[in-house]
Structure 1
Amino acid sequence: MENQLQIYNTLSRKKEVFIPLRSGKVGLYVCGPTVYGKAHLGHARPAVTYDLLFRYLKHIGYKVRYVRNITDVGHLANDADEGEDKIAKKARLDELEPMEVVQIYTNDYHKNMQQLNVLPPSIEPRATGHIIEQIQTVEQILAAGYAYESNGSVYFDVEKYANDYPYGELSGRKIEDLQTNTRVLDGQDEKRSPLDFAIWKKASPEHIMRWPSKWSDGFPGWHLECTAMSCKYLGDTFDIHGGGMDLTFPHHEAEIAQAKAAHGKDAVRYWMHNNMITLNGQKMGKSLGNAISLEEFFTGEHDLLEKAYNPMTIRFFMLMAHYRSTLDFSNEALQAAEKGMERLLKAVETLDKLEAKAESTVDVKSLSGKCYEAMNDDLNSPIAIAHLFDGVKMINSIADDKASISADDLEQLKSLYSTFVFDLFGLKKAEQQGGANTEAYEHAIDLLLQLRVDAKANKDWATADKIRDELAKLGFEVKDTKDGFSWELK
């Protein structure tokens, strides 16, 4: 399966067959969160997207070094080098140390990622832990002539860079249009051009987070951290850089320019971007005031939520849409995902109860091929899921004795569903999702249905019907089988 994977490269604007720089090894860098608040649904999407990529690359045989950063300094209130550092502002408002804020929300983020069954990265560097590397990168860019010092700050010279290299190639923006549409902002006369961006910023007297440098006591620009840390851990050129589509400009565009200015070559071979999650067609995010935190999803404590949603429902909801497509939040969509996931997990349970026959009347090999074909087509998880649902019909048909499956095919089918549902899609079985409470709940339903079986054996039809009807009112579908009964929550 190696070398079959195709990835949509944002830089070339087309799907390309993925060929790693180093045989059998992949370097993957993903922009992680800025930890100044609780993680929301928008944070979950890149986490789940690149977790799927991480899992699939390992599954098809690659050794992957996955680096996902934590932004804990340098991200100002807007992208024009203005305003207060977001973490410092939160620290001031909450009367905490900045690193206290960082630790609180990093812990929350890790907890949420664990709930979503997102695998931890190989390395999770923090910007504040790599100030030396960022200062060294600033020095390299200055030495190459693509930056200048002004009043203790250092700015990247976009126009000088654009004379030698294409600027805007990732986002599709032309420097002529940027020059025309960019206005001069108050307090930015120390820049030669409003297009320039800070790679080192002199700290104002009240600024808490600062480090000594030859230019000033200051802090690195937001764009610089990813350039310095990705190259430190993955080399001057590495395979894949991922992140949200909202980071394409200016963040990733600046990363490309900084790396090329510092090292004289492109750092990244494949750029990947997941699309946004929207609410009524508008991007969901803290800055817009319409973000629902993951904690609120898991508890149901938000006015827009009809109920609490299991983390696996959130994960499956995201996998049901291609990572490059917009995903619009609604309770209806989440509840549809919940029912779809339950149907899939129920089929996995049914698989374990199937009995093999002498020969197959079902085509397991074809089903497997279609699932892998979908994943190799730029991680097309919704198509793979659709094929798995086709397989659910196959499983139910075998369970109802309307089709048969051989022992070899049964093992292949079990392996296929275990691989995709649990290893690649990262879902958990029902009993793993809810712990002891879920297990007790399932035992209670089984006990009620066993009482119904006993009532029927005693010809107590009224009690048997009452148990079935009352469970139906609660949303349970009960089926009588040759071995006793089965049930599922609709």
Structure 2
Amino acid sequence: MENNLVLYNTLTRKKEKFKPLNEPFVGMYVCGPTVYSDVHLGNCRTFVSFDMIFRYLQHLGYRVRYVRNITDAGHLEGDRDEGEDKFSKKAKLEQLEPMEIVQKYTLGFHDVLRLFNTLPPSIEPTATGHISEQIEMVQQIIENGYAYERNGTVYFDVDKYTNAYDYTILTNRKLDDLLNNTRELGGQDEKQGRLDFALWIKAKPEHIMRWPSPWSIGFPGWHIECSAMSNKYLGAQFDIHGGGMDLAATHHTNEIAQSEACNHVQPAQYWMHTNMLTVNGARMSKSAGNGFLPHELFTGEHKLLTQGFSPMAVRFFMMQAHYRSTLDFSNEALIAADKGYKRLMTAIELLEKVRPNSEKASSEFEINKFKTRCYAAMDDDFNTPVLIAELFEAVRYINAAYDGKATIDADTISALKDSMHIFVSDILGLDASAETTSTDNVDDLMQIIIKIRNEAKKNKDFTTSDRIRESLNAIGIKLKDSKDDTLWNKI
């Protein structure tokens, strides 16, 4: 299959031509949420970004198997499997069974992503549903000589692994630096090396979630679940592995180590990572008090916001930044994005009302060059900001054509409708109809107001006509007149 897609590979730290292992099939694995709390905005950005990537790969004609896991087995505090189990802690606080916690927050996660108009993954496996696969993988790693058991807990032997493979290949960090930043072994520590991490953990008496294994009654380490599930559904080698950049240094590094130790091959051809979120230039975090939950953006019930924003406006805001770039949230930036989103959607509505104004003269808008530029943007590592800039060139032309200030023919109108649907709806995933509000009858109400205003204009009562326009403008509604019709949109 011919394609011009080039994507940035974290593994090699450069852009590479996309060549799937088994065209036209593409295997893509994205680390999903740990469902013990509400999904945070950083998660949303990652999943919205990979939804866009999923959409574009499908648009190019690939048959994509998109696997996004659910972490519901519980893992301990910190990347090294230490401290208190988060699921047990939450279950005790809310006086619920751990799987009630899982169900509650999994449903909440799905509800939020539906609001963002994301497509469901092809497969959404859970860690608790794949305990046997994780045990089998741990057994194979032990047999291959890269893991050891101590008192019922199984550890990955990083020192042994580094003799045969590059442990820091994903981050290009120096092994000595990792060792210097890792705590010294205590007298009771079971690990042979400071960087060793748990593949299987013997459960303490108070630990709620536990399963039998050849080594102990226990539970899997955090990292092994993704290696086991990606291997089951995509094979030992697949095309794309994705997640947030915060996962690269430890979780994804350990995934690579586990998979290579088990299968002797690098699991994914391309590693892709979304960048972090900031708020007014500062890193978003709960401790800083500047974190956002999705519903706070939608309702505006946050100390840093002056209004609420629709899920599609927030998705548009996310698409305005490249997935590998830092995304800075601020009230002003969201307001600007909201206006831009409404302007884009209004132009698409106007396009349905545009009529050819010339039978002979060719259109001023070169539709084929426009489409070529749009595809070039997406082929350049999914560069949505450049795509959006191209779309607004089309918006300017649509507005001019609607006002009779630009030449347009029937073929261009038809091609523009198709192109805007493809790039705005199919690829960027922006769909006004995906949003539901309690004001579904607003359009009917506005049509009544517009009719009254038009009657006032017809009777040359321009004072009333102007007062209606100004009053609507004062509450954030703009009227747009043409020789055939009057449209309205929120500003």
TM range (shorter): over 0.9
The residue type paired with residue 433 of structure 1 is E
1:325-474 alignment runs, 5 A limit: 325-356=325-356, 357-358=358-359, 359-429=362-432, 432-435=434-437, 437-474=438-475
Q: Is the 8 A contact 2:146 2:261 kept in 1?
A: yes
Q: Is the 8 A contact 2:115 2:434 kept in 1?
A: no
The equivalent residue for 1:250 is: 250
1:112-123 alignment runs, 5 A limit: 112-123=112-123
User: Displacement, 1:85?
Assistant: 1.7
Give the match's secondary structure for 1:434: coil
Using the TM superposition, name which of 192-201 and 303-312 deviates more. 303-312
Give the match's secondary structure for 1:427: coil
Give the match's secondary structure for 2:212: coil
Give the match's secondary structure for 1:96: coil
User: Displacement, 1:453?
Assistant: 1.1
Q: Deviations over 1:267-315 (max 9, x none)?
A: 1100000001112434334576643211222222222222221111111
Give the match's secondary structure for 2:208: coil
User: Displacement, 1:346?
Assistant: 0.7
Change (3 A) 1:141 1:300: same
Change (3 A) 1:167 1:388: same
Whole-angstrom CA distance in 2 between matches of 1:155 and 1:267: 20
Whole-angstrom CA distance in 2 between matches of 1:406 and 1:460: 36
The residue type paired with residue 397 of structure 1 is A
Q: Deviations over 1:141-180 (max 9, x none)?
A: 1011011111110000101100111111101112122223
Whole-angstrom CA distance in 2 between matches of 1:263 and 1:132: 17
Change (3 A) 1:188 1:487: farther
The equivalent residue for 1:485 is: 486
Give the match's secondary structure for 2:37: coil
The residue type paired with residue 413 of structure 2 is L
Change (3 A) 1:286 1:228: farther
Identity in percent: 55
Q: Is the 8 A contact 1:275 1:326 kept in 2?
A: yes
Query: Normalising by structure 1, what TM-score?
Result: 0.96
Whole-angstrom CA distance in 1 between matches of 2:439 and 2:18: 42
Change (3 A) 1:234 1:285: farther
The residue type paired with residue 190 of structure 2 is E
Whole-angstrom CA distance in 2 between matches of 1:193 and 1:450: 78
Whole-angstrom CA distance in 1 between matches of 2:486 and 2:185: 71
The equivalent residue for 1:260 is: 260
Give the match's secondary structure for 2:211: coil
Whole-angstrom CA distance in 2 between matches of 1:124 and 1:169: 28
Change (3 A) 1:252 1:188: farther
The residue type paired with residue 487 of structure 2 is S
User: Displacement, 1:418?
Assistant: 0.4
Gaps of 5+ in 1: none
Q: Is the 8 A contact 1:42 1:285 kept in 2?
A: no
Alignment of 1:231 onto 2:234: no
The residue type paired with residue 296 of structure 1 is E
Q: Is the 8 A contact 1:227 1:258 kept in 2?
A: yes
Q: Is the 8 A contact 1:30 1:242 kept in 2?
A: yes
Count of aligned residue pairs for this structure pair: 488
Whole-angstrom CA distance in 2 between matches of 1:408 and 1:459: 38
The residue type paired with residue 243 of structure 2 is G
Whole-angstrom CA distance in 1 between matches of 2:66 and 2:7: 17
Q: Is the 8 A contact 2:117 2:434 kept in 1?
A: no
Whole-angstrom CA distance in 2 between matches of 1:283 and 1:239: 31
User: Displacement, 1:187?
Assistant: 7.4
Q: Is the 8 A contact 1:2 1:61 kept in 2?
A: no
User: Displacement, 1:464?
Assistant: 1.8
1:97-116 alignment runs, 5 A limit: 97-116=97-116
Give the match's secondary structure for 1:241: strand
Whole-angstrom CA distance in 1 between matches of 2:485 and 2:201: 72
Q: Deviations over 1:117-136 (max 9, x none)?
A: 01100000000100000000
Q: Is the 8 A contact 1:73 1:85 kept in 2?
A: no
Give the match's secondary structure for 2:451: helix
The residue type paired with residue 95 of structure 2 is E
Give the match's secondary structure for 1:164: coil
Q: Is the 8 A contact 2:6 2:17 kept in 1?
A: yes
Q: Deviations over 1:89-123 (max 9, x none)?
A: 11112111111100000000000011110110000
The equivalent residue for 1:130 is: 130
The equivalent residue for 1:303 is: 303
Q: Deviations over 1:382-437 (max 9, x none)?
A: 100000001111111211222222322221111110011111111112x54235x4
Q: Is the 8 A contact 2:403 2:482 kept in 1?
A: no
The residue type paired with residue 116 of structure 2 is L
1:30-45 alignment runs, 5 A limit: 30-45=30-45
Give the match's secondary structure for 1:303: coil
Q: Is the 8 A contact 2:402 2:482 kept in 1?
A: no
Q: Is the 8 A contact 1:322 1:381 kept in 2?
A: yes
Whole-angstrom CA distance in 2 between matches of 1:340 and 1:204: 54
Change (3 A) 1:12 1:216: same
Whole-angstrom CA distance in 2 between matches of 1:30 and 1:84: 26
The structure 1 segments of at least 4 consecutive aligned residues displaced by more than 6 Å after TM superposition are none
Change (3 A) 1:137 1:289: farther
The equivalent residue for 2:281 is: 281
Using the TM superposition, name which of 309-318 and 182-191 deviates more. 182-191
Whole-angstrom CA distance in 2 between matches of 1:31 and 1:8: 18
Q: Is the 8 A contact 1:68 1:123 kept in 2?
A: yes
The residue type paired with residue 12 of structure 1 is T
1:68-79 alignment runs, 5 A limit: 68-79=68-79
Change (3 A) 1:122 1:363: same
Using the TM superposition, name which of 165-174 and 242-251 deviates more. 165-174
Q: Deviations over 1:435-459 (max 9, x none)?
A: 5x44411221221121111112223
Whole-angstrom CA distance in 2 between matches of 1:31 and 1:286: 22
Whole-angstrom CA distance in 1 between matches of 2:487 and 2:215: 72
**What is the Cα-based RMSD across aligned positions, in Å?**
1.6
The residue type paired with residue 378 of structure 1 is D
1:208-227 alignment runs, 5 A limit: 208-227=208-227
Change (3 A) 1:39 1:191: same
Using the TM superposition, name which of 223-232 and 175-184 deviates more. 175-184
Gaps of 5+ in 2: none
The residue type paired with residue 417 of structure 1 is M
Using the TM superposition, name which of 413-422 and 356-365 deviates more. 356-365
User: Displacement, 1:185?
Assistant: 5.7
Q: Is the 8 A contact 2:77 2:83 kept in 1?
A: yes
